[in-house]
């Protein structure tokens, strides 16, 4: 750790924190206060913006809607990815490399390309404006990502574990659910982190596939205009609140985080 790197780190941390600080101060001031005068440190902090979000159903339902499809997506992705990752890590089979590559291409696909087709597809099967629609649409990216990350971790678990379970007379189901999955707790945590990292933050598809019923927070925030123009205070408060789930997720998986990045399978 040369001192140059240390200084860069310090400077970068300040660079990171400044906009976040600004977000917080905005969240604690009323809109009229913000447009009225410029202050670096708020002289009249208020929790009114947060109160607005917690009391106004448009806001808190939007948060709920977002969490809804994110959790749904994470569940589906992990459930579907676990057997696939297991199989990729333990066996070779016809077309395995090609399949793996094809999965990867989906993770890299530009969402813009899928806007229209998704809209038409989900409308036609009646899933438009349901959390399932967004959850499934995000699966396009999160499932390959999950398979990839899980496979990376699982390849590090020796196949002797499988054999021992077999010798002990356990069925495959028992082995998979009672032995193998618990061993891979860290991997599943990291996968959760990355699924969340994708699904919670995405806008384009979330906006396209939802209507008035399932409006997610990302949409509500991009449409916060009132008669007096954008309500900066409420917007900032909402923004601040969207950062919270992320922090919670990171906190829980912090021990395994570096290993996840080490596999390079972001």
Residues 103-132 that bind another protein (CB under 8 A): 103-106, 108-118, 120-121
127: Cβ–Cβ under 8 A, 6 or more apart, which residues?
133, 136
* Window 9-68: residues binding another protein (CB under 8 A): 9-10, 12-13, 15-23, 26, 34-35, 38, 40
* Window 233-262: residues binding another protein (CB under 8 A): 235-236, 239, 242-243, 245-247, 249-251, 254, 257-259, 261-262
User: Pick from 39, 19, 16: which is nearest to 29 by CA?
Assistant: 39
Q: Return the DSSP state at 214.
A: S
> What's the min distance (Å) between Cβ of 170 and another protein?
18
Letters for 158-197 (x = contact with another protein by CB under 8 A, - = none) are xx------------------------------------xx
> What's the min distance (Å) between Cβ of 47 and another protein?
18
Query: How far is Cα 226 from Cα 224, in angstroms, rounded to an integer?
Result: 7
Helix (H) or strand (E) holding 159: none
Binding of another protein by 209 (CB under 8 A):
no
User: Which is nearer to another protein, 47 or 79 (by Cβ)?
Assistant: 79
User: What does the angle CA 76 – CA 255 – CA 79 come to, to the nearest 5 degrees?
Assistant: 10
> What's the min distance (Å) between Cβ of 99 and another protein?
7
User: Pick from 224, 255, 215: which is nearest to 52 by CA?
Assistant: 224
**Which two three-digit tokens encode residue 94?**
């016809």
Binding of another protein by 266 (CB under 8 A):
yes
**Which two three-digit tokens encode residue 78?**
């992990």
> What's the min distance (Å) between Cβ of 133 and another protein?
11
């Amino acid at each position: 750790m040369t001192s140059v790197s240390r200084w860069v780190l310090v400077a970068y941390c300040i660079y990171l924190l400044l906009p976040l600080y600004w977000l917080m101060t905005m969240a604690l001031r009323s809109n009229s206060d913000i447009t009225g005068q410029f202050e670096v440190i708020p002289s009249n902090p208020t929790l009114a913006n947060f109160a607005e979000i917690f009391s106004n159903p448009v806001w808190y339902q939007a948060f709920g809607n977002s969490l809804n499809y994110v959790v749904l997506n994470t569940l589906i992705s992990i459930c579907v990815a676990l057997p696939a990752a297991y199989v990729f890590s333990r066996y070779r089979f016809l077309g395995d490399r090609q399949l793996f590559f094809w999965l990867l291409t989906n993770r890299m696909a530009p969402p813009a390309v899928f806007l229209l087709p998704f809209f038409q597809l989900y409308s036609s099967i009646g899933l438009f404006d349901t959390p399932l629609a967004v959850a499934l649409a995000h699966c396009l990216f999160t499932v390959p990502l999950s398979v990839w990350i899980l496979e990376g971790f699982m390849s590090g678990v020796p196949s002797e574990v499988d054999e021992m379970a077999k010798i002990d007379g356990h069925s495959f189901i028992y082995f998979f659910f009672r032995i193998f999955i618990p061993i891979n707790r860290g991997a599943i945590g990291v996968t959760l982190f990355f699924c969340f990292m994708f699904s919670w933050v995405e806008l384009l598809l979330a906006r396209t596939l939802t209507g008035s019923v399932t409006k997610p927070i990302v949409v509500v925030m991009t449409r916060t205009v009132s008669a007096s123009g954008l309500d900066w205070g409420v917007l900032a408060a909402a923004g601040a609140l969207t950062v919270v789930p992320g922090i919670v997720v990171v906190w829980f998986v912090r021990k395994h985080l570096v290993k996840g990045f080490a596999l390079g399978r972001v």
